[in-house]
Amino acid sequence: MSSVLQKLITPLASNASETPRNKVTVVGVGQVGMACAVSILLRDLCDELALVDVMEDRLKGEMMDLQHGSLFLKTSKIVADKDYAVTANSRLVVVTAGVRQQEGESRLNLVQRNVNVFKAIIPQIIKYSPNCTIVVVSNPVDVLTYVTWKLSGLPKHRVIGSGTNLDSARFRYLMAERLGIHASSFNGWVLGEHGDTSVPVWSGANVAGVNLQKLNPDIGTDADKEQWKATHKAVVDSAYEVIKLKGYTNWAIGLSVADLTESILKNMSRVHPVSTMVKDMYGIGEEVFLSLPCVLNSSGVGSVVNMTLTEGEVAQLRKSADTLWGIQKDLKDL
């Protein structure tokens, strides 16, 4: 007795290769990983999504919950497993996994613990997707992007840290709000180290090409009557604020990762502030990763925009580089 399937459908070329062309893997199904996954799915960016984590029940539950929404999506395959074989042939791998800072823990200790986690993750990613591009989101992102680069053996243009992409998005939103315009119409770049010592490049801040520093030469300084510096401070503080209020942040970082994903998968060559290897730029002598405006395409970082920075801004970048190298040089087992 032939089944309904056999009576309904006559196969013509069912054995034709169905290798995914735009597969994305998200490593880590915590709040950040799932926000990245959902943003990527709802933007129709990939034809296959793979999720990996060590917590098997949670992983399966998240996969099922996404699959139950497949009617509303255009991503035909959503898979998940703790075995990395499920990630094979990914074009892009988003790494959100990692341990969080314990109370009183030094940054070096946190990083060393995350190195150990990444040692289990990164080689597995490369094994199954040797030609992928990796976007590192886990914190401290600049150091962990370096760690990923070292552990993966990938060329530097294929390892990107989400860096100050979110800081810049927050900056543009907060600045735009003060002016009553949409964030996308306010152009401003926050570069360097993601976090407390990020650098807002005031000389570049503009609306429709009109340079704000020309309108207000004190902008960003303590002497500034309009206190625009406070807006950058709000950017730095915003992560802490959201964490204090709801326990973590996820939606904004998820949306920003989807934005990077779009540029990479669609070979768009858009410029994003992301963490890249900056040795030999701005007088930096060490192998550190900091955020600069990078042209992102299907190869990863195609090129870096040579930002015109003031002496003060260059000094800040060099200081960040020294701090990062101070941590990186003591890492074991890289």
Annotated binding site for NAD(+): 28-33, 53, 114, 137-139
Which residue in 68, 157, 182, 194 is the catalytic one?
Answer: 194
Residue 72 near another protein by CB under 8 A: yes
Is 157 noted as a catalytic residue in this protein? no
Q: Which one of 108-116, 140-148, 173-181, 283-291 is the stretch in contact with another protein (CB under 8 A)? A: 173-181
- By CB under 8 A, tell whether 179 contacts another protein: yes
**Which CA distances in Å does 325 have to 15, 129, 156, 199, 330?**
52, 29, 17, 18, 9
Within the chain, strands assigned E span 23-27, 48-52, 77-80, 92-95, 133-136, 159-161, 190-192, 198-200, 206-207, 210-211, 270-277, 289-297, 300-304
Our CB check for another protein shows the closer of 244 and 329 to be 244
209 in contact with another protein (CB under 8 A)? no
Other residues' Cβ atoms within 10 Å of the Cβ of residue 145: 31
Q: Applying CB under 8 A, which part among 66-74, 89-97, 265-273, 287-295 lies near another protein?
A: 66-74
- What does the buried/exposed string (b/e) look like for 31-52 if buried means 16 or more CB atoms within 10 Å of the residue's CB? bbbbbbbbbbbbeebbbbbbbb
Minimum Å gap between C-beta 7 and another protein is: 5
Taking the least distance from each CB to another protein, the nearer of 223 and 334 is 223
Q: How many CA atoms lie within 13 A of 180 on its CB side?
A: 0
Sign of the C-alpha dihedral, residues 220, 295, 34, 129? negative
C-beta of 189 vs 325, nearer to another protein:
189
Least separation in angstroms between CB 135 and another protein: 15
Q: Does 60 bind another protein (CB under 8 A)?
A: yes
Sign, Cα dihedral of 86, 87, 89, 91: positive
The angle subtended at Cα 37 by Cα 30 and Cα 292, nearest 5°, is: 90
User: What CA–CA distance (Å, rounded) separates 325 from 221?
Assistant: 28
Would residue 125 be called left, alpha or beta, if left means φ above 0 and alpha means ψ between -120 and 50 degrees?
A: alpha
Restricting to residues 215-234, which ones interact with another protein according to CB under 8 A? 215-216, 219, 226, 228
40/278 with CB nearer another protein: 40
Site for another protein in 236-295 (CB under 8 A): 238, 241-247, 249-252, 254-256, 258-259
The reply on whether position 62 binds another protein by CB under 8 A is yes
The answer to the question of residue 24 lying near another protein (CB under 8 A) is: no
CB–CB of 273/292 below 8 Å?
Answer: yes
Is residue 57 part of the contact set for another protein (CB under 8 A)? yes
Size of the site for another protein (CB under 8 A): 67
* Residue 9 CB, nearest approach to another protein (Å): 7
**173, two tokens:** 């939103």
Q: What distance in Å separates the CA atoms of residue 239 and residue 121, rounded to the nearest whole number?
A: 26
Residues that bind another protein (CB under 8 A): 1, 3-5, 7-9, 14, 34-35, 38-39, 42-43, 57-58, 60-62, 64-73, 76, 166, 169-170, 172-173, 176, 178-180, 182-184, 207, 210, 212, 215-216, 219, 226, 228, 238, 241-247, 249-252, 254-256, 258-259
Catalytic residue IDs: 194
